[in-house]
């Protein structure tokens, strides 16, 4: 495990799964292969499988340890969830909790679980199946997500399509247990964390920032799915619900990360999944760390 240190704060990735994903044409309506050719050394073989012509996608949680708290950013797909519309996450049985233990974290030690949004692959381990009931996986944790996201998925949107059932089995149980902190708007969360409203990919998507000893980390969720979007921030994925807002949130992330020299912790990049953004005029560059 690669550990990133920020003063007294550390960040480590715990992977649920990583493997072949969408073809470029499936993921990006504006796909232009010349961009891949320009960045072959960055993308191949870590982020793109040339033989299969498919991106490589990582599903993981970021574990943030401060002197006082253990914080999880996003919680992957989860086990035993009924997801017939998304076969990759249907009835999984993966050793995620064992991998979390390898990172030195037991479920009862987690103080906060922060979800950038409530899609199938970002909140699944909020709960686990116990005696036929969905119960909070992390019994002592506060679960943090945006009000806009909660309100959207608790309504009709959460009962149809690819994310059908996600709210019911992965969000509602932590609301019912009194462990949910539903945040309206953005701003400081405490524990050195700052919530930034970054809608577009989903209606209530947020980015999460922290600072320690002058160094910053920025968890971008699904603002970007692959490194190529650093070079083409106007590219939305097919999963971005609101195109104009998605582009604005992506450009904000890149500009903010470059200006603050923040380490960006991505939700789906393969490789180390973390990197630095630099800027030259209106153009951006990416370097894995």
The predicted model gives 47-60 an average pLDDT of 98
CA distance linking residue 2 with residue 255, whole number of Å: 26
Q: What are 260's two structure tokens?
A: 């603050």
Q: Give the mean pLDDT of the chain.
A: 96
* 128 — pLDDT class (breaks 50, 70, 90): very high
* 1 — pLDDT class (breaks 50, 70, 90): confident
Model confidence, pTM = 0.97
- Which position has the token pair 């992957």? 76
267 pLDDT above the threshold of 80: yes
HSE-up of residue 2 (Cα within 13 Å, Cβ side):
10
Task: Match domain 3-288 to its CATH number in 2.60.40.420, 3.60.15.10, 3.30.230.10, 3.30.470.10.
Answer: 3.60.15.10
Radius of gyration of the chain (CA): 18
Q: What is the pLDDT of residue 26?
A: 97
Q: Phi first, then psi: give them for residue 224, nearest 5 degrees.
A: -135, 145
CA distance linking residue 34 with residue 140, whole number of Å: 49
CA angle 158, 237, 234 (to 5 degrees): 130
The predicted model gives 156-169 an average pLDDT of 95
Mean pLDDT is lowest, of 75-84, 163-172, 188-197, 231-240, for 188-197
CA distance linking residue 225 with residue 235, whole number of Å: 10
191 pLDDT above the threshold of 80: no
CA distance linking residue 234 with residue 118, whole number of Å: 24
């Amino acid at each position: 495990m690669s550990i990133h240190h920020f003063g007294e704060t550390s960040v480590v990735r715990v992977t649920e799964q990583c493997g072949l994903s969408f073809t470029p044409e499936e993921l990006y309506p504006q796909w232009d292969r010349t961009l891949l050719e320009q960045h072959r050394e960055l993308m191949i073989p870590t982020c793109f499988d040339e033989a299969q012509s498919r991106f490589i996608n990582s599903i993981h949680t970021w574990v943030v340890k401060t002197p006082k708290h253990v914080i999880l950013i996003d919680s992957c797909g989860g086990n035993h969830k009924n997801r017939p519309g998304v076969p990759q996450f249907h009835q999984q049985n993966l050793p995620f909790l064992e991998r979390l233990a390898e990172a030195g974290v037991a479920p009862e030690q987690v103080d906060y679980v922060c979800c950038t949004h409530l899609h199938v692959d970002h909140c699944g381990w909020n709960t686990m199946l116990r005696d036929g009931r969905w119960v909070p996986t992390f019994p002592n944790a506060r679960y943090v997500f945006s009000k806009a996201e909660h309100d959207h998925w608790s309504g009709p949107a959460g009962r149809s399509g690819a994310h059908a059932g996600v709210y019911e089995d992965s969000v509602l149980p932590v609301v019912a247990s009194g462990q949910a902190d539903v945040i309206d708007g953005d701003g400081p969360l405490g524990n050195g964390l700052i919530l930034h409203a970054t809608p577009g990919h989903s209606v209530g998507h947020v980015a999460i920032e922290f600072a320690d000893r002058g160094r910053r980390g920025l968890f971008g969720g699904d603002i970007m799915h692959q490194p190529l979007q650093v070079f083409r921030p106007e590219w939305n994925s097919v999963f971005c619900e609101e195109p104009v807002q998605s582009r604005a949130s992506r450009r904000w992330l890149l500009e903010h990360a470059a200006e603050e020299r923040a380490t960006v912790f991505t939700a789906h990049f393969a490789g180390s999944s973390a990197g630095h953004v630099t800027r030259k005029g209106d153009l951006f560059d990416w370097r894995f760390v």
